[in-house]
Structure 1
Amino acid sequence: MEARAFISQALQILNDLSKIMTNMASYLKLRISLSVNLGYFQIR
């Protein structure tokens, strides 16, 4: 029972981490596309 609780806790933590990673990746993509667009407008 103890090991099962530990495993479920570990899975929950991994799930949260993957959500955070996905959020960070989309945030970085947004930042990169924004900076690229700004640079493009400054060049023109």
Structure 2
Amino acid sequence: MIGQTRLYCSKGDGFRLIEVPTERASYEAERIKKQGWVVDAAIPL
């Protein structure tokens, strides 16, 4: 999918994979961090 970014996130033993539009990736990464998640990687598709 062009124009999408995958955010690979972890928190303790948990893992989340979130796919968002690339233009919103920075905003979504900050939102996830405020919830206590660590963004391990952001991969544009």
TM value normalised by structure 1: 0.31
Greater strand content: 2
Please identify which structure carries the higher helix content: 1
- Between Structure 1 and Structure 2, whose CA radius of gyration is higher? 1
Q: What TM-score comes out, normalization by structure 2 length? A: 0.30
More relative contact order, 1 or 2 (CA 8 Å, 6+ apart): 2
